[in-house]
Amino acid sequence: AGADADAMEGGEGLLSVDYEVFGKVQGVFFRKYTQGEAKRLGLVGWVQNTSHGTVQGQIQGPTARVRELQDWLRKIGSPQSRISRADFSNEKEITALEHKDFQILK
């Protein structure tokens, strides 16, 4: 049981959510770590730096896993990063993943 039982709870579907992370998150390998964490959790989507010093992107995958990455984006990030906050928006259930993998966009 454990994690697998949680994933099945209520016929859990797929979630898509957009995010933006504020703080010292550029030039500290934040995108690379985010990609690594997303892949570890089996999530797809993307991450990129913005022109105003934040990092933004989209996460898609099983709801419980998406929640784990949201938590990670809020509290952990890359070792050198200093996260002040993470905003999440456009959260919605989806029937199929819209990305093949998790990419770092320029």
Closest by CA to 21, choosing from 57, 60, 46, is: 57
Contact between 97 and 60 (Cβ < 8 Å)? yes
6 or 15, higher pLDDT: 15
Return the pLDDT at 11: 56
**15-62 confidence digits (pLDDT tens):** 999 999 999 999 999 999 999 999 999 999 999 999 999 999 999 999
Q: Looking at 31, 74, 82, 85, which residue is catalytic?
A: 31
82 annotated active-site: no
Q: Looking at 40, 49, 74, 90, which residue is catalytic?
A: 49
Number of folded domains that form the chain: 1
Domain that holds residue 82: 14-104
3-state secondary structure (DSSP) of residue 67: helix
85 annotated active-site: no
User: Does residue 41 lie in a domain region?
Assistant: yes
User: Does residue 6 lie in a domain region?
Assistant: no
Angle, helices 30-40/63-75, rounded to nearest 10 degrees: 150
Confidence of residue 66 (pLDDT cuts 50, 70, 90): very high
5 or 96, higher pLDDT: 96
